[in-house]
Amino acid sequence: MIRHLLSAADLSRSDATLLLDTTEEMLRLTEGRSVKKLPTLRGRTVVNLFFEDSTRTRTSFELAAKRLSADVINFSAKGSSVSKGESLKDTALTLAAMGADGVVVRHSASGAPYRLASSGWIDARVLNAGDGTHEHPTQALLDAFTMRRHLGDLDGRKIVIVGDVLHGRVARSNVILLNTLGARVTLVAPPTLLPLGVENWPCDVSYHLDPVLPDADAVMMLRVQRERMNAAFFPSAREYSRRYGLDARRFGLLSDEAIVLHPGPMNRGMEITADVADSERSVIVEQVSNGVCVRMAALYLMLAGADETADDVHEGAA
């Protein structure tokens, strides 16, 4: 298994499949049980290092680590020395001194988890919980897991991702992971919200939503911040939702089996209407519960027996 989870690109197809299979196992072991705790990470310390507010993601990681019986420390920017200007390096050295085994990092700067993992400041396993506009690999894993539960094997499945790809980290990780798993991704956005060079990504790109909906097996709507219109990415929220929002009419263009996803938090009325978000084929709430299991699987595979594994010895020697 990989040492750090920094990008969806760190995962080979077999790694990703193992992660999703392990997630299935975690779901089976906890679903419907009154006692949801497993002893696997007893004695291990997981630090949730959040330089950026995200109650949803932090809570999900915290719950995942606790269900595996790890000791969990929440180290958030607010109320810690980070807000007093303590550097990433000093924070890392502090956590290393505390004996953290795994560090879950959320940061507004792209690449911060990468720096933490590669700088030699800390020996712990690093999990990227969202960095800047770079990546959010566990979100992509939970999306893939949710899709797999409904659609089966994702090989050849058609996934449409709609919204702010430029500023979003979810789309990046999803394109990479879904491509690894054999799915065919189409990104839909106004040209202003697509990064330069997107034509070379392993996916298709469309400026129009309607034509790609009938063939889609899943549609993922991304959050679009209304403030973007102030920087001329689109003229108005109304025009955006008219051209790219998932409303009842567009929902009707989907096949009967197609599912709707959203990584949250939603802008109801902007990228998705309330009736679609709350429809039977919306799996948005399920994504949240699957998120905990995916993070359990990641923490388990990366931390359980981490000291004894052969690759660890190898990495230590490198």
Partner 1 sequence: MSPQTVLVKGARVLGGEPADLLLRDGVIAELGQSIDAGDARVVQADGLVALPGLVDLHTHLREPGREDAETVDTGTRAAALGGFTAVHAMANTDPVADTAGVVEQVWRLGREAGHADVRPVGAVTVGLAGERLAELGAMADSAANVRVFSDDGRCVDDAILMRRALEYVKAFDGVVAQHAQEPRLTEGAQMNEGELSGRLGLRGWPSVAEEAIIARDVLLAAHVGSRLHICHLSTRGSAEIVRLAKARGLPVTAEVTPHHLLLTEELVATYDARYKVNPPLRTADDVAAVREGLADGTIDIVATDHAPHPVEDKECEWDAAAFGMLGLETALSVVQHTMVDTGLLSWSDVADRMSFAPARIGRCDAGTAAQGRPLAVGEPANITLVDPSVSRTVDPWQSASLSRNSPYEGMKLPGQVVATFLRGRPTVEDGALT
Query: Per CB under 8 A, which of residues 97..126 are in contact with partner 1?
Result: 107-112, 114-115, 118-119
Closest to partner 1 by CB, 65 vs 141, is 141
Cβ 51 vs Cβ 112: under 8 Å: yes
Please indicate if the annotation marks 139 as binding a ligand.
yes
Report which of 140, 123, 92 is spatially closest to residue 303, judged by C-alpha positions. Answer: 123
Backbone φ and ψ for 199, nearest 5 degrees, come out as -65, -15
Cβ 139 vs Cβ 173: under 8 Å: yes
> 């567009």: which residue's tokens?
250
238 contacts partner 1 (rule: CB under 8 A) = no
For the chain, the first-to-last Cα distance in angstroms comes to 16
In angstroms, give the least distance from the CB of 176 to partner 1: 9
Question: Which span sits near partner 1 by CB under 8 A: 93-101, 141-149, 152-160, 197-205?
Answer: 197-205
Tell which one of 88, 100, 127, 298 touches partner 1 (CB under 8 A). 88
Closest to partner 1 by CB, 163 vs 245, is 163
257 DSSP assignment: T
Question: Which span sits near partner 1 by CB under 8 A: 15-23, 84-92, 208-216, 284-292?
Answer: 84-92
Closest to partner 1 by CB, 187 vs 298, is 187
CA dihedral (306, 177, 56, 122) in degrees, to 10, reads 30
Backbone φ and ψ for 148, nearest 5 degrees, come out as -65, -35
Query: Per CB under 8 A, which of residues 119..158 are in contact with partner 1?
Result: 119, 131-135
Residue ranges for the binding site?
56-57, 84, 106, 136, 139, 169, 223, 264-265
